[in-house]
Amino acid sequence: MLLYYQFIHRDLAARNILIGEDNMAKVSDFGLARNISGAEEYIRNNQNLLPVKWMALENLLHGRFTTASDVWSYGILLHEIVTLGEEPYKNISPHNIAIHVGSGCRMSQPSQCSDELYEIMTNCWNVEPTERPTFEDLHQTLHDMLMGDEKWYINITQAVNERSLTTTMEPRSLSAENGSVNA
């Protein structure tokens, strides 16, 4: 939908996705969004702070933002969803992300992530923007995966229980029994 209105978001991340009625996911926080009407890209011309762990290599190195940059961020967003909100590149300093990503390093496949879904993520993280899938491609691929085969679904209660056995969920913890969040 952003592409339809000729916008690039520049901050696609789990923190900016709201779930509405009928489990409809909606993108929020358009503070970094830019209108690219009549242009293929937006070139950053200031030094404002940006969410570097979600940014594509061309953003980090050249300040160039395109729809393909948002696709990269979408791959990070998918990783966040599958890991129940784990910070991307959690052991890498924001100052070292460009070096890390530029050397070809990507986040590893989460244990609860299918090979097919991880392949979608890695396609989103292709160093060459023109080789990344489009949002239309992603929509169709994910739609085809999710319609009709339950193997693509994650049992959230089970995932939360497994995570709580291996990590501390501070400052919040999820109660698997009633689905409530305790702060």
Q: Which amino acids are annotated catalytic?
A: 11
What's the rounded Cα separation, in Å, for the pair 10 and 22?
26
Between CA 4 and CA 9, with CA 7 as vertex, the angle to 5 degrees is 125
DSSP state of 109: P
Please name the helix (run of DSSP H) or strand (run of DSSP E) that holds residue 101, with its range, or none: helix 97-102
Distance between CA atoms of 37 and 39, rounded to whole angstroms? 6
Phi–psi pair at 89, nearest 5 degrees: 45, 50
Q: Do residues 75 and 125 lie in contact, with contact meaning Cβ atoms separated by under 8 Å?
A: yes
Between vectors from CA 116 to CA 110 and to CA 117, what angle results, nearest 5°? 50
Angle at 182 between CA 177 and CA 183, to 5 degrees: 165
Helix (H, G, I), strand (E, B) or coil at 66: coil
